[in-house]
Amino acid sequence: MPPDAARPLGSAVARPPADQLQLISFGLGREWYAVEMRHVRGIEPETEITPVPLAPAWLAGVFNLRGNILPAVDPRPLLGIPPADARSGGLLVVFEWGGHPSALRVDVVDEIYEIAASSLEPQLSTVDASRQQLFLGQVRVRDRLIGVLDLAALMRPLLED
Amino acid sequence: MAAVDGGSFLAPERAEGRLRLESPDPVRALVVRCGPYRLGVPAALVRGVVAASDIVLLKHPDLEGLVWWDGALFPVTRLNPLLGLASRGDELRGHGVLVHCRHGPLCFLVDEALDLVEIPGDSLRPIPSLMSKHTGLRGVESAVTLDSLLLIVDPVRLLGLERAAHLVAAAGEVSDAEASRRAGDCP
């Protein structure tokens, strides 16, 4: 399937064939990113995130999700996106990686797409090398270029001893 | 009164004065503010709270100051640098939180002591292990839900027992030196 033919799935999510990727896209500032839907457990409105001492900038803090305390990862510093001026109405994309539930702090969630795995393009070489490793690749959907984040790479610093 | 030691203050085994996760019993915590952080110190660890104005400022490489309270000499150290916050110079402001560790008494200077709250035991939650592992934080072991999340902090574990022992020893040396000086002044 050519990338432009990727179709939004709305809320009806079924397991894709092996050669397909289900992506959920979200906005951070003016840019669009996505992660694989298979890791995502839900979308939550951003509740109060409690900052944790000594946490790096990309670890926004912890929040209470129905009685469980989860870490909130802010991908902006990792992706070189300046902090939002005034955050309001953001969303938390709750995901699970390596048995650890966590959440990505995003501005807005867009759509769920199913694309052919082969339609993933490598990131532009102009992207900083240290940031390139955070991506599985990029995909063009309609007129929008979406960077597909590699949750494993994103979570690596958090999981490393 | 419970003394802080090197183990977890949320250890599953029952120990007097320690918080215990998912305990049915309510626990009390002294809520303090350090910069942007609002933290809870288990009341079982706290001997008292003094105003910063009660602290005698010292020009000492290790000690911020000393404070006498209830017949004991408490060496003073700031909590903010242990949380990665900049210290605010020589001025002493806020409150001193007095605790006891196995090496002796300690006073932690905070920006503000806010409140003493009672927390239902079943609202205690562990913070994600990923978080404590990554930040290298010692002594921040749980968060609870009141009107918002409150991180529960053991200030002695944040400081480290070795440094705590060093501070207590330094306070003793200062006290001994002062006693000797006074004795020398006497005819």
Length of chain B counted residue by residue: 187
In angstroms, what separates the C-alpha of A91 from chain B's closest C-alpha? 18
Question: In 3-state terms, what secondary structure has residue A12?
Answer: coil
Does the CA dihedral B39-B41-B43-B48 come out positive or negative?
negative
CB B19 within 8 A of CB B111: no
Instruction: Select the residue of A63, A64, A100 nearest B130 (Cβ to Cβ).
Output: A100
How do the pLDDT tens digits run along chain B, 187 residues long?
343 343 344 433 333 344 445 556 788 899 999 999 999 999 999 999 999 999 988 888 888 899 999 989 999 999 999 998 987 666 778 999 999 988 899 999 999 999 999 888 778 887 887 776 666 666 676 666 666 788 988 999 889 889 999 999 988 888 887 777 777 766 5
Instruction: Assign A14 a pLDDT band (cuts: 50, 70, 90).
Output: low
| Local structure of B66: helix, strand or coil | strand
For B52, which DSSP code?
G
Is B45 at the interface with chain A, CB within 8 A? Answer: no
Residue B186 has a pLDDT of 61
User: Considering CB atoms only, which of B83, B126, B130 is closest to A158?
Assistant: B130
Q: Which of A48, A51, A70 sits opposite B128 (nearest CB)?
A: A70
Are A90 and A138 in contact by the 8 Å Cβ rule? The answer is: no
Q: Please give the pLDDT value at position B107.
A: 96
| Interface contact flag, A55 B134, Cβ < 8 Å | yes
Nearest chain B Cα distance for residue A159, angstroms: 7
Is B136 an 8 Å CB contact of chain A?
A: yes
User: How many interchain CB pairs under 8 A, A with B?
Assistant: 72
Would you state the structure tokens that stand for residue B10, as one six-digit string?
């949320």
Decide the pairing of beta strands B104-110 and B72-78. parallel
A125 pLDDT more than 90: no
Cα separation, A140 vs B183, whole angstroms: 83
Closest to B141 in 3D by CA, of B18, B17, B16, B2: B18
d(CA A87, CA A32): 17
Please list every residue in chain B whose beta carbon sits closer than 8 Å to the beta carbon of residue A48: 148-149
The pLDDT, as a whole number, for residue B166 is 92
**pLDDT 10s digits, A61-98:** 899 888 888 999 999 998 888 887 665 679 999 999 88
Task: Tell me what pLDDT residue A99 has.
Answer: 84
When computed from its CA atoms, the radius of gyration of chain B, rounded to whole angstroms, is: 17
| Residue B119 confidence (pLDDT) | 85
A131 to chain B nearest CA, in Å? Answer: 20
Instruction: Output B168 or A123, whichever has higher pLDDT.
Output: B168
**pTM (two decimals):** 0.78
